[in-house]
A and B are shown apart, each in its own frame.
Chain A
């Protein structure tokens, strides 16, 4: 082999050409799973899920068993959609879009094609959206009108109601968090710019519902096939002073103070319900706290019972089941006799007088109690409707912050959050309630004003509870909540949830949601009477029938206290749990509310998720495959050619 003079020249050629610019490495990735993670961006979003009733379904779901994959575009730019798209909408556009997709049959053909191509919806969120909207309420104009004890079901209590929550959609809808909103807006804008390129960013929706897969499209069939679970939870009642179980009968008349702790929303995990109903719950808790500091409850003529119901937003489940169990004289409501709940016809007037006296005693604080407008058809949608339907002679008052129609512009929506309520209003309501209850219970017309003046609501308690129950910071990991329970989540959600397992009065605490457990512990603590002996520590139940174990979930902090605080399951009176399956009972003539109950259930699902990633054109993928095959075949031919040339050259030599 001859040495070639050109070789050193070639070497220099290399060095001249090469630029040794070292750049910081492209990735902080250390492994293939890291690469995989950076390719797929998981977006935190709140889904709208599939709910069913006896006549059909509502909510959203993927149309089949597969994930929905579609490129992301903004709704306002999506005038001519030729491919499957996931639209990014703001809240005001959402109502418009959903209304149009419901009325699809009545629209002209080009709209139909437009809507056929929208296969997923992403809803933006952000502070400026709330400011722009006058109001947003996805539920009806008269929520749960079928349960009203009066005939005017067309009265508009909720003027902002659009009813979009109660329709069925065959595509996934997700609400984005604020950080994801800005990220997806960038992605949509980038998609717009590179419209005919090889790549596009897509959203992958995983909202496959088991009822869609199994083909069960109403409550009865899905409960039988076990593809869904009924909505429900655990209500809590507590008595002040604690009921002495050893007495063979209880004789004191009962004043029942009722609040509700569940709300609803288009998006399942974002139902805060700050104004409706949590502000009521906060008032109740603050009033209990104020009253607990008063002595001498055993000497008063009447008994106070505090009842915190859940499931009220979905067919008054809590109140109906509570009344049913009272009729059945079940263990969980022993000590309460339904006949003891005030049926005296003068009770309403007494209550109004008490409220007036309480208002007067609070004169320094800008509080006013007014009777409702006579043009109202009756009581607004509330738990009292269930009591009235059971016994129309029940005396009751509904205390609200509105008169002829809801002032809450975001009723049953994800925007009904802490910014929608005022802590001083809650404190005022709580003070009013506490003093009125004391007046009613003592039945004493000449009470010294100093006695009333001593009943004061702790403002900082209200503010702390607001932070715990209505926001994510500190959320349920706040000190007050962590003092009583070990919460499963940090961000509170007041959706009623589903009944897991068999409903019972002593449920497995893992099946009871965080807010119910917190309310139980709080009420048990506040309504307890101090023990003469030292308190014994406990981890589950107490030996004495009159005692309950509070703070049981905190390691080593459980104590037995004398208190009557119980859980009452909340689920439809039309359902019965028997040998592991839920059965729908036929309507009963004695249960008028049950015959109009939709019997809400929620579909089961495997996972719910939302991912965003970039995909290439199908054509590009095939181009790569063909390129690979071509390279291989071309190489084969070149090698065959080279081999024949070399063989010829060797033969020549």
Chain B
């Protein structure tokens, strides 16, 4: 691969988040701040996790349970941090509302709250993509490519970029669903997000066992997530159908 391919992989992983940033986040400075602080928070969480697990890695085990333990503990830690994030957000929301009341401006709308949640989720997704994909991309700018034995159809960097893309999307929308769930006290939504995160993590672990299976599963998750989000937003059936169709096309195009 060359510089062109390296940039291509970086764009595959982070292009949509860049688009989201430009289209939605950049319009409001508060959202930019939210993205930055969220990215920082989740990067720190990943660093802390890797610091704790460094003592036990590499896991040269042929049994599955050490890996399961690794994933479950990491996901559990991150979900706990998400609850904390929510509590901080709640306090921030109260502060902002109080300030708005004082100056006689309207309080936060539903769309504002969802945008803040989206920005938080985007921060989480970007942190994941940077930590798990971008850091691996340096060799991709050199002349050689790399294929993993278990997935000889696509280069390793392409797989890692596509997985990062999927995770960015999952994290972005999970935050919206989670905040919605915490706000309304909807336990299904509250439990839905950690479960999806865990499942996605497990699927990635088994990724190199079956290349395409992974990708189609990834995008099935994606598809279903979108459905949930849209249903929560109560869009009209027609728009939901349009988006659903788009997602299917994307999914099939990717699992060639």
Pair from one complex? yes
| Contact between A621 and B5, CB atoms less than 8 A apart | yes
**Is B188's CB under 8 angstroms from A8's CB?**
yes
Query: Does A632 lie within 8 Å of B15, measured CB to CB?
Result: yes
Given A39-B146, A628-B11, also A14-B199 (CB < 8 A): yes
Q: Which residues of A contact B184 (CB under 8 A)?
A: 1
Q: Which of B157-198 contact A (CB under 8 A)?
A: 158, 165, 180, 184, 186, 188, 192, 195-196
A615-627 interface mask toward B, CB cutoff 8 Å, 1 = contact, 0 = none?
Answer: 1101011101111
Q: Which residue of B lies closest to A636 (CB)?
A: B19
Interchain CA distance A643-B9 in the complex, whole Å: 27
Q: Bound complex: CA of A628 vs CA of B15, how far in Å?
A: 7
Assess the A627–B12 pair: CB atoms within 8 A.
Answer: yes
**A40: B residues at CB distance < 8 A:** 144
Q: Closest A residue to B195 by CB, please name it.
A: A11
Task: Please indicate the chain A residues that have their CB under 8 angstroms from the CB of B108 in the complex.
Answer: none
B142 cross-chain contacts in A, Cβ below 8 A = 36, 39
| Chain B residues near A616 (CB-CB < 8 A) | 1, 5, 145, 155
B55 within 8 A of A: no
Among A36, A633, A642, the one with the most B-chain Cβ atoms within 10 Å of its Cβ is A642
Query: B150 to A628, Cβ gap below 8 A?
Result: no
A25 within 8 Å of B (CB atoms) = yes
The answer to whether B208 and A23 have CB atoms under 8 Å apart is yes
Q: What residue of chain B has the Cβ atom nearest to residue A30's Cβ? A: B58
Query: Which residue of chain B has its CB nearest to the CB of A650?
Result: B111
Chain A residues in 8 Å Cβ range of B139: 32, 35-36, 39
B residues contacting the other copy or chain, number (CB 8 A): 75
Partner of A21, one of B5, B60, B136, B206: B206
Complex Cα distance, B9 from A636, in Å, reads: 17
CB atoms of A18 and B188 under 8 A apart: no
- Across the interface, do B150 and A18 meet the contact criterion of CB distance under 8 Å? no
Question: How far, in Å, is B238 (CB) from chain A's closest CB?
Answer: 10
Residue pair A18, B209 in contact (C-beta under 8 Å): no
Closest-CB distance, B27 to chain A (whole angstroms): 10
Contact (Cβ within 8 A) B7 A625: yes
Query: Are B192 and A7 closer than 8 Å at their CB atoms?
Result: yes
Residues in chain A near residue B58, CB distance under 8 A: 25, 28, 30
Task: List A contacts of B144 (CB < 8 A).
Answer: 39-40, 613-615
Instruction: Please pick, from A4, A632, A645, the residue contacting B19 in the complex, using a CB distance under 8 A.
Output: A632
Is the C-beta of A635 less than 8 angstroms from some C-beta in chain B?
yes
Q: Is A69 part of the contact surface with B, judged by Cβ < 8 Å?
A: yes
Look across to chain B and name the residue whose beta carbon is closest to the beta carbon of A7. B188
Known A19-B206, A26-B149; contact A636-B23, beta-carbon cutoff 8 A: yes
**What are the interface flags for A168-203 relative to B under an 8 Å C-beta threshold, 1 for contact and 0 otherwise?**
000000000000000000000000000000010000
Is B203 part of the contact surface with A, judged by Cβ < 8 Å?
A: yes
B203-236 interface bits toward A, Cβ cutoff 8 Å, 1 = contact, 0 = none: 1011011100100010011001000100111111
Q: A638: CB under 8 A from chain B?
A: yes
Please, which residue of chain B has its CB at the minimum distance from the CB of A33?
Answer: B139
Q: Are B146 and A35 in contact, with the CB atoms below 8 A?
A: yes
In the complex, chain A residues whose CB is within 8 Å of the CB of B12: 624, 627-628, 631
Q: How far is the CA of A649 from the CA of B64 in the complex (A)?
A: 47
Partner of B5, one of A11, A13, A624, A646: A624
Asked whether A69 and B234 contact (CB < 8 A) given A18-B202, A621-B8, the answer is no
Docked pose: A40 CA to B4 CA in angstroms: 19
Interface residues of A in 595-653 (CB under 8 A from B): 613-616, 618, 620-622, 624-629, 631-633, 635-636, 638-640, 642-643, 645-646, 649-650, 653
Q: Are B22 and A636 in contact (CB under 8 A)?
A: yes
Contact partners of A199 in chain B: CB under 8 A: 145, 147
On whether the beta carbons of A18 and B1 are closer than 8 Å, the reply is no
Q: Which residues of B contact A24 (CB under 8 A)?
A: 61-62
Q: How far is the CA of A613 from the CA of B1 in the complex (A)?
A: 11
B11 in contact with A629 (CB, 8 Å):
yes
Interface: A20 (CB within 8 A): yes
A106 at interface by CB-CB < 8 Å: no
Asked if A451 is at the interface of the complex by the 8 Å CB criterion, the answer is no
**Interface assignment of A588: CB less than 8 Å from any CB of chain B:** no
User: Does B104 touch A at the CB level, under 8 Å?
Assistant: no
At the interface, yes or no: B92 with Cβ under 8 Å from chain A? no
- Which residues in B have their C-beta under 8 angstroms from that of A28? 58, 60
- Given the complex, which residues of A lie within 8 Å of B186, measured CB to CB? 1, 3
Chain B CB count within 10 A is highest, among A11, A613, A628, for A628
Least distance between A638 CB and chain B CB atoms (Å): 7
Docked CA distance A645–B18 (Å): 21
User: Are the C-beta atoms of A22 and B5 separated by less than 8 Å?
Assistant: no
Alpha-carbon distance A650/B109, docked complex (angstroms): 11
Judging by beta carbons under 8 Å apart, are B11 and A631 in contact?
yes
B residues whose Cβ falls under 8 Å from a Cβ of A: 1-2, 4-5, 7-12, 15-16, 18-20, 22-24, 57-64, 67-68, 111, 135-136, 138-139, 142-150, 155, 158, 165, 180, 184, 186, 188, 192, 195-196, 199, 202-203, 205-206, 208-210, 213, 217, 220-221, 224, 228, 231-236, 239, 243, 246
Known: A39-B145, A40-B144, A624-B1. 19 other contacts (CB 8 A): A10-B224, A14-B221, A17-B217, A20-B206, A21-B206, A21-B209, A25-B59, A28-B58, A32-B138, A35-B139, A39-B146, A614-B146, A616-B1, A616-B155, A618-B2, A621-B2, A624-B5, A636-B19, A636-B22
Chain A residues in contact with chain B, CB under 8 A?
1, 3-4, 7-8, 10-11, 13-15, 17-28, 30, 32, 35-36, 38-40, 69, 199, 204, 613-616, 618, 620-622, 624-629, 631-633, 635-636, 638-640, 642-643, 645-646, 649-650, 653
4 tightest Cβ-Cβ pairs between the two chains A and B:
A628-B11, A632-B15, A22-B64, A635-B16
